[in-house]
Amino acid sequence: SRLCRGRDFQIHRVLTAFNSAVTGEREILLERYLEGWDELVKFLESLGTVIGFISQEVKGKLGVVRELRRGAPATEEEEEGGDPYRTLRSMMAHELRAGLVDFRRQSLSGCRTLLRLHRALHWLQLFLRAVGRSSAGDSMGALCSVAYNQALAPYHSWLLRQAVGVALVALPDRAEFFRIVCGEEEEEEEKGEREREGRQLLERTVLAITRVYNITQEAYQANGMLDLP
């Protein structure tokens, strides 16, 4: 069932990954960033087949960045730092230097690929914040689509927006959502406690994601890469 597969997902792993993705020098460690997404994919996969095309899309993007990373030997100038895909900024510098970033057409760069994940992280930030503030009976689909319309829809075709609208109808209700986030409650009386814990964890996760999002946004802005095709 949905719940059994959902047990695999651990929100604290999302929190840990995104927290440890940021270094003291405000660098984003790509491996940690991708690990945060790996955990989010588990959540998506627990939602079943209608959402399937969304988790396929995310897995595809993660695969592209990892593939580029595997295939990129450090150039001489980069030798010192080793892996050019270690951090977001080193990836940007490396891909710009290697001429991999195309500002006019679609290309297969880590920069344009991660930009898609970055926009999706904006959606997630808005959505989770709304979930944290929601009350019993609120529709997850509605919260989701408000965030979607703000953060992602402007970058999607009309056809895709319709498909997303259909997929959102299949979202679990709020109670099940919190069950996935907090784990299953054994006793009815523990429910309130679980929800408080869940909300707290959600809040900390939103903060971690927001920090990663803001630093990433600055880096894209500084390189004039916010609109990469």
Residues at the interface with ligand 1Q0 (CB under 6 A): 11, 40, 43-44, 54, 57-58, 116, 120, 123-124, 128, 144, 148, 152, 155, 160, 164, 171, 181, 202
Count CA within 13 A, CB hemisphere, residue 120: 19
Residue 30 or residue 47: which is nearer to ligand 1Q0 going by CB? 47
Do the beta carbons of residue 110 and residue 95 sit within 8 Å? yes
Distance in Å from the first CA to the final CA of the chain: 39
Q: What number of other Cβ atoms are within 10 A of residue 123's Cβ? A: 17
Residue 86 or residue 121: which is nearer to ligand 1Q0 going by CB? 121
Q: How far is the CB of 67 from ligand 1Q0 (least distance, A)?
A: 14
Q: How far is the CB of 27 from ligand 1Q0 (least distance, A)?
A: 23
The tokens of 186 are what?
């054994």
Q: How far is the CB of 114 from ligand 1Q0 (least distance, A)?
A: 11
Residue 22 or residue 124: which is nearer to ligand 1Q0 going by CB? 124
- Amino acid identity of residue 216, one-letter, is T
Residue 38 or residue 57: which is nearer to ligand 1Q0 going by CB? 57
Cα–Cα dist 40/14, whole Å: 7
What CA dihedral angle connects 216, 229, 50 and 147, to 10 degrees?
50
Q: How far is the CB of 164 from ligand 1Q0 (least distance, A)?
A: 5
Residue 66 or residue 123: which is nearer to ligand 1Q0 going by CB? 123
Do the beta carbons of residue 45 and residue 5 sit within 8 Å? yes
Q: How far is the CB of 21 from ligand 1Q0 (least distance, A)?
A: 16
Q: How far is the CB of 175 from ligand 1Q0 (least distance, A)?
A: 14
The tokens of 227 are what?
């609109």
Do the beta carbons of residue 120 and residue 152 sit within 8 Å? yes
Residue 17 or residue 40: which is nearer to ligand 1Q0 going by CB? 40
Do the beta carbons of residue 142 and residue 223 sit within 8 Å? no
